[in-house]
Each structure stands twice: as structure tokens, then as C-alpha cells.
Structure 1
Amino acid sequence: MHDWAAPIIASALFALIAPGLVVQMPGKESPIGFMNMKTSIIAIFIHTILYGLLLILFLVILDIHMYA
């Protein structure tokens, strides 16, 4: 059996946290922008930090497993 939790969680977070796709922190005109499909260097940096922290939360701290 193979543990599918890590690739599924990483792929979902990557898709949802991509800057400008669903949410952008910080936004161009406001602190949070929604679905503007634009990004900046600072937004990429903040989203990278959030992505790493959420991966650590799900895979290390919560130790989630999904076997198929």
C-alpha cells in the first residue's frame, strides 16, 4: 500500500495557494485580493511561506495518512 496523503495535500495546496488564483496576500490595491490573476514578488514570497507552513502542519504535525 502507498500513502497518497502527501502528494494529494501538496497538489491541492499548490493549486489553492498559487498567488492570484483564488486569493493574493498582499493584493495590489488592498491587503487581500480575490481572483485577480495578477501577482507580485512579495505575494509570491508570502504564499511560499504559507505553503511551507501548511505542508508542515498537515504532514508533520497532524501526520495525515491516506492509503489506497
Structure 2
Amino acid sequence: MADWAPVLIGVLLFVLLSPGLLFQLPGKGRAVEFNNMQTSGVSICVHTIIFFGLITILLVAVGISINIG
């Protein structure tokens, strides 16, 4: 049986944490900007660190597992 949790959680977090899609941290003019569809190198690094932290917590510390089949 395959564990689908890493795939589903990874895709969900990737979509939600894409810089500029829902929010951008840090923004170009303010600390946090919402739905501006722009990005910067610093914003990409911050969102990458947030993504890594959340996926590590959810998959390793909490141990979420989704088995299909």
C-alpha cells in the first residue's frame, strides 16, 4: 500500500504557500501583502522555510498517513 500523505500535503501546501497567490511575506511595500501576484527572492526563501517547517511537522512529528487501496 502506498502512503499518499506526502504527495497530497505537499501539493496542498505548495498551492497555498506560493508567494503572491494568497499572501506574500515580506511584501514589496509592507510586511505582508495579500493577492498581489508579485514575488521577490526574499519572499521565495521565507515561503520555502515555512513550507519545509509545516511539511516536517505534519509528516514527521504528527505522523499523518493516508493509505489508499
TM above 0.5 = yes
The one-letter amino acid of 1:4's match is W
Residue in 2 that maps onto 1:5: 5
SS of match in other structure, 1:53: helix
Deviations 1:14-68 (A, max 9, x none): 1110100111000111110111000011000100100100110111000100111
Q: What TM-score comes out, normalization by structure 2 length? A: 0.94
- Say what the alpha-carbon RMSD is for the aligned residues: 0.7
| Higher strand fraction (1 or 2) | 2
Q: What TM-score comes out, normalization by structure 1 length? A: 0.95
Distance 1:52 1:4 in 2: 18
> Any unmatched runs of 5+ in structure 1?
none
Residue in 2 that maps onto 1:17: 17
Give the % identical residues.
41
The one-letter amino acid of 1:11's match is V
